[in-house]
Structure formats: C-alpha cells, structure tokens
Amino acid sequence: MDVIAGIAKNRFIVVGRVGMDLFPAPGVATEDAGSFTADMGGSSANIAAGIVKLGGQASLVTRVSDDAVGRFCVNKLRHYGVATDYVTPVGGEARNSLALYESRVQGHQSVIYRNHAADFQMTVADVETVDYSQFGALITAGTVFAAEPSRSAAFRAFDLARAAGLPIIFDVDYRPYSWPSPQVAADVLSRAGALSDVIVGNDDEFGFMAGSKDQGMARARALSQDAAIVIYKRGEHGAVTFAGGEEIATGIYPVTALKPTGAGDSFMAGFLTGLADGLDIKAAVLRGSACAAIVVAKPGCAPAMPYPADLVAFLAAHPGPTTPA
C-alpha cells in the first residue's frame, strides 16, 4: 500500500466524535463567566474541520443525540464544510459530549461531560454503510475505542478501509476519563496502533502504551517497523518522526499561548494536508506544528483552525521553528 498516495487524494473518512464546546472570554474563569461562546468540538470533528479549512475534503462517521445539541453539532459540521452523510442521530438517554474550557494558560480549567456519550453508540452497521472507495485514507482518534459498540465499529471500519486499500491514520488521543481502566486502554490502543499506517501521539501516550514514559520513544520506534510513519510529539521540545528508516527531529513555532487545547487536532490537519499538497514528511510535520501554534494562540478549537491564508501570514511573520533538542 502506498500510504502517501492515499493521503495525496486529500479525501478523508474520519471516524469519531463531534461535540459542543463552551468557552468564556479570554482570561475569564468558568465560575466567573457571565456568557460563553458555543462552537463545535470533539477531536475527530476538529481534525475534519481543520482539513477542510486547509483545502481537503472530509466526511465524519459518528452518532449524535437526537436533540437540539445533536442538531447544533450537525449544523456546525456543515458550517465548516464537513460532510454529514454518515452522521446518524440516536435517541434515548444518549447525549453529545460537552467540553467547558477556558482561554487561559495559568489556572486553566477544562470540564468534560461524557456521560452516556452519543458517539459511543456508533455501530458496525454505521461503518458498513460507508463507500470507502470514495476516500483516500481513514482517520480516527483513540477515544472512539473506549467503549462498545463504538470500539467494535471502529475496528470493523479499519477492516473495511484496509480491504478498500485505504491507509489508516491513528491519533492515539488517550483520555483516561473515557476508559473503564488503564489496562483496557493500553491493550485496545496497542491493538489499534498495530493495525495503523500512520500513528501520532505524544510522549505521555506512547509512554502509556509502553508501560512507562521513559519507554515511550522505544515504543514509537518499534511501531515504526510496521507503520509507514510514526510521530512522537514532545511538547515544547518538538517531535521525532520515524519514517522510511529515518528519525527526523523537528522543532516548534513558539507563540504566546492563550490555551492548551486544540493543538493536536490542528497538527493532524496541517500535517495530512501538507502531505496531500506534496510536501515531504519533515516539511509536513513543520506545517502541522505551525497549525498547532496558530490554534493555541486563539479562542476555540475549530474556529481557531487556520485557512491557507492564515498559515501563509503566520509563517511570513514568524522567525521560524526552534532547533530540536
């Protein structure tokens, strides 16, 4: 399978959640807020929106609650240009996830409501309706594997994507609050990683999969024996990318951060569309890092994701990435 050729089609099927984000004005604590801005959230939805804003195409596969919040999420997906053909309402007590977070770094608070999450109701039948031949690659984030029936559905989507010749792109995205236990998470995320062609995670996530943080780099390196690309993100220290037998170290674009959220989703969107636009792997990783920097310096996640003109302006004004450690 030619992983880069699949990504180059710039048409992605994205599996995973969409939710509602609420955030007060910059610098304001949640408990002191008199008003909140509402927008779209959820890692998979954010990645999809970021891809579309940068010129790609993306369709989301998920379940949303059959209520006003679910309809809000669908409307926001359409607002950002994400196709909703495979977004299915679910009734009963299922509810869309809700994230309350602040646009401040000092004392930052983030509260996530994931009780009876609607996206965890995604079924095997949902992913079997997708025409995978219309896409170049499948993307998902780790949370989709945290509960049933979503877990089985996601693994089924992997099988169907593989049969259609699509590379599988996996953002580890470990969120402990979504999982029944760390042991289950480590087993399931490792299984998903072993089936993936592109794996992106941070030092904590690879360390978690390895059993200890100091073994995370070794785990990423081991995964690269089968995966085409493995990106080990190290926060302010940049990233190490394992691809084609090489280890490529890259820095970050320092900015004055307004918040810590949204960086990983924007990185993924920038990286993948960079590859689709013909950049080499190192340049695509740096493009993803620039997109991450743009998002942490603005309120919101999906609304902060850059358009091409935003990215061009940022790179023209910025002195450039740090030298990797």
What is the average pLDDT score of the chain? 97
Q: Chain-centre distance of CA 40, in angstroms?
A: 13
> In this structure, are residues 156 and 128 in contact, taking their beta carbons and an 8 Å threshold?
yes
Instruction: Determine the average pLDDT of the residues in 111-131.
Output: 97
Instruction: Determine the average pLDDT of the residues in 154-161.
Output: 98
User: pLDDT value at position 212?
Assistant: 87
Enumerate the β-bridge partners of residue 199: 170, 230
- The token pair that represents 300 in the structure block: 């919101």
The phi and psi torsions of 129 (rounded to 5 degrees) equal -80, -15
> In this structure, are residues 100 and 77 in contact, taking their beta carbons and an 8 Å threshold?
no
CB neighbour list of residue 63: distance below 8 Å, 6 or more residues apart: 87, 88, 89, 90, 94, 118, 119, 120, 121, 122, 126
Instruction: Summarize pLDDT for 199-243 with one digit per residue, the tens.
Output: 999 999 999 999 888 999 999 999 999 999 999 999 999 999 999
The full set of domains in the chain, from first to last, is: 3-317 (3.40.1190.20)
User: pLDDT value at position 111?
Assistant: 97
Structural Rg of the chain based on CA atoms: 18
Reduce the DSSP state of residue 223 to 3 states and report it: helix
User: pLDDT value at position 240?
Assistant: 98
Enumerate the β-bridge partners of residue 13: 59, 138
Instruction: Summarize pLDDT for 7-49 with one digit per residue, the tens.
Output: 999 999 999 999 999 999 999 999 999 999 999 999 999 999 9
In the chain, what is the greatest distance between 2 CA atoms, to the nearest angstrom? 53
- Tell the burial category of 126 from Cβ atoms under 10 Å away from its Cβ (0-12, 13-18, 19+): buried
What number of residues does the chain have?
A: 325
Q: Give the C-alpha separation, 161 to 194, whole Å.
A: 15
Instruction: Determine the average pLDDT of the residues in 184-190.
Output: 95
For the chain, count helices (H), then strands (E).
11, 13
Measured N-to-C along each axis, helices 281-296 and 263-276 cross at an angle, to the nearest 10 degrees, of 150
Of the candidates 274, 172, 289, 292, the residue with the CA atom closest to the CA atom of residue 240: 289
User: pLDDT value at position 1?
Assistant: 73
pTM to 2 decimals?
0.98
- The token pair that represents 110 in the structure block: 């983030």
Q: Give the C-alpha separation, 143 to 205, whole Å.
A: 12
